[in-house]
Amino acid sequence: MSEIDPRELRNAFGAFMTGVTVVTCLGPDGEPLGFTANSFTSVSLDPPLLLVCLAKSSYSKAEYTSAKGFAVNILAEDQQSISNTFARPVEDRYADIEWFTGPHGAPVFNGVTAWFDCSTHEMVDAGDHILMIGKVEAFDTSDHAPLGYARGGYFSQKLSEQAIEAATAETLRVGALVKNGNALLVIEDEDGLHVPSIPVKRKHGSDSNIDRVAKSLNLTLNRDFVYSVYEDSKAQHLIYRCETDDEEPAEGRFIPIRDIDASGFKDPAEQIMVRRFLSESRLGDFGVYFGDVEQGSVKRFTRDNQLETSFF
Ligand SMILES: Cc1cc2nc3c(=O)[nH]c(=O)nc-3n(C[C@H](O)[C@H](O)[C@H](O)COP(=O)(O)O)c2cc1C
C-alpha cells in the first residue's frame, strides 16, 4: 500500500464541499467560547445526534470537552467574516456578534441558516481530533442561504447564480483562477501579470462560460465555483475557480502558488482577488488552519443589478 502524504490527503479532504459552522459553548465562568468548524455532520435521528471534530490543538479544548453541551451554528452566506473571526486568535471573538443563550445553554447566533443546541453525548478520541458528539436538545432553521466552503475558499451558490443573472451582455468578461496542484495559471505581458479571461458576447450559464475559457486556453477545466464578481470602468468580470491536470496552456504558465507576488498583478481588482486567493491557499484545510484571512473583493449584486458593498 502506498504511503499517505498528509499534504495530499489534506487537499483531497478539502475538495469536498461543506457548509461552515461555529461551534460554541460556555466556559466555566460563563464566558462564551467558539471556533469555526466545517467538520460538522449529522449522525443519527433517533436519538438525534450530530458530530463535529475538534482539533486537539484547540486553545479551549478543555472547556469544550468538559462543558455540559455545545451549539452548532450553521453560518449564512453573508457571515463569512464571522467564520474568519472564529478561526483566528482574536481577543474577543464575540465583540461584534449578536447572540442569545440557546434553550440548553450554549450561545446561538442571530441570522444563521440553522442552529442546534446540544447536550454532550460523547467525546471520542480520534487521532489528532476529538469527535464531539452532541445530542440535539433544541434547534431552529431559517431561509438564509448557507455559506459554502471548498478547496480552502468560501462560496455562495445563491450569490453565484445571482451574479451570472445580473451580468449584462455587452460588458461581460469571464475569467478563471486555474489551479494545477499547487500552481496557478498566470498570463504575463509587458504590463505585468493577469488572470486569464475572455470577453463573452452573451450571457451564458456557468458550464458554457467555463467551456469558452477552457477552449481559449486549450485546457480541460473542472469548475469549482464562482470566485469573484466585480465591475470596473470597462466590464463586469466573472471569475471562476477551476482545477486542471493539463500542464501546457495555450497561453500563460503555471507558477507555484508560494512564488506568486500579488503586487505583480497590475489590475487593482485582480490584485485584491489574487491576494485573497493566496491567503486562502495558505490557510490549508480542515484541522490545520493558521494565518490570516484577508477580506477580498467580491461584490454582491442586488436584484436590480446595483452593486452592494463588498461581500467576501
Ligand atoms: C472554514 C474553516 C473550517 C474549520 N474547521 C475546523 C474543524 O472542523 N475543526 C477544528 O478543530 N478546527 C477547524 N478550523 C480551525 C479553527 O477554527 C481554528 O483553528 C480556531 O482558531 C480554533 O480556535 P481555538 O483554538 O480557540 O479553539 C476551521 C477553520 C476554518 C476557516
Helix, coil or strand: residue 81: helix
Instruction: Name the residue ranges covered by the structural domains of the chain.
Output: 21-146, 157-310
Secondary-structure class of domain 21-146 per CATH: mainly beta
The number of beta carbons lying within 10 Å of the beta carbon of residue 128 is 10
pLDDT of residue 205: 61
Burial of 157 per CB tally in 10 Å (0-12, 13-18, 19+) = middle
Per-residue pLDDT, averaged over 48-69, amounts to 96
Mean pLDDT confidence for 41-46: 96
Q: Quick one: pLDDT at residue 117?
A: 98
Same fold, 21-146 and 157-310: no
286 lines ligand 1 (CB under 6 A): yes
Kindly give the distance from the C-alpha atom of residue 83 to the centroid of ligand 1, in angstroms, as a whole number: 9
**Ligand 1 neighbourhood includes 81 CB (under 6 angstroms):** no
Place 90 in a pLDDT band, splitting at 50, 70 and 90.
confident
Atom of ligand 1 nearest to the CA of 21: 3
Is pLDDT of 111 > 80?
yes
Per-residue model confidence (pLDDT) at position 168: 56
- Residue nearest to ligand 1 atom 5, measured at CA: 37
Angle of the 157-166 helix axis to the 206-217 helix axis, nearest 10: 80
CA pair distance 38, 18, nearest whole angstrom: 6
Using a pLDDT cut of 70, give the percent of the chain over it: 82
pLDDT at 33: 98
CB 106 within 8 A of CB 35: no
- Average pLDDT, stretch 60-78? 96
Helix (H, G, I), strand (E, B) or coil at 91: coil
Q: Read off the pLDDT of each residue in 30-53 and give the average, rounded to a whole number.
A: 97
Question: Is the pLDDT assigned to residue 265 strictly greater than 80?
Answer: yes
What pLDDT, in 10s, does the model give residues 184-236?
999 999 989 999 999 886 666 666 878 899 999 999 998 777 788 777 777 77
- Cell 489574487 belongs to which residue? 274
- How many residues does this entry show for the chain? 312
The mean-pLDDT minimum among 139-148, 185-194, 293-302 falls in 293-302
What's the gap in Å between 14 CA and the centre of ligand 1?
13
Asked if 119 and 69 count as a contact pair (C-beta separation under 8 A), the reply is yes
CATH architecture of 157-310: Alpha-Beta Complex (3.90)
Q: Is the pLDDT of residue 138 over 90?
A: yes
Total-model pTM: 0.69
Average pLDDT, the chain: 83
Which of 22, 23, 289, 294 most suits a substitution to test ligand 1, by most atoms within 8 Å of the C-beta? 289
Q: Residue 52's Cα: distance from chain center in Å? A: 17
Q: Is the CB of 53 under 6 A from ligand 1?
A: yes
Grid cell of 297 as nine digits: 473583493
The confidence score (pLDDT) of residue 221 equals 92
In the Cβ-directed half-sphere of 44, how many Cα atoms lie within 13 Å?
8
Write out the H or E segment, with its range, that includes residue 276. helix 268-283
CB atoms within 10 A of CB 180: 16
Instruction: Name the pLDDT band for 303 (thresholds 50, 70, 90).
Output: very low
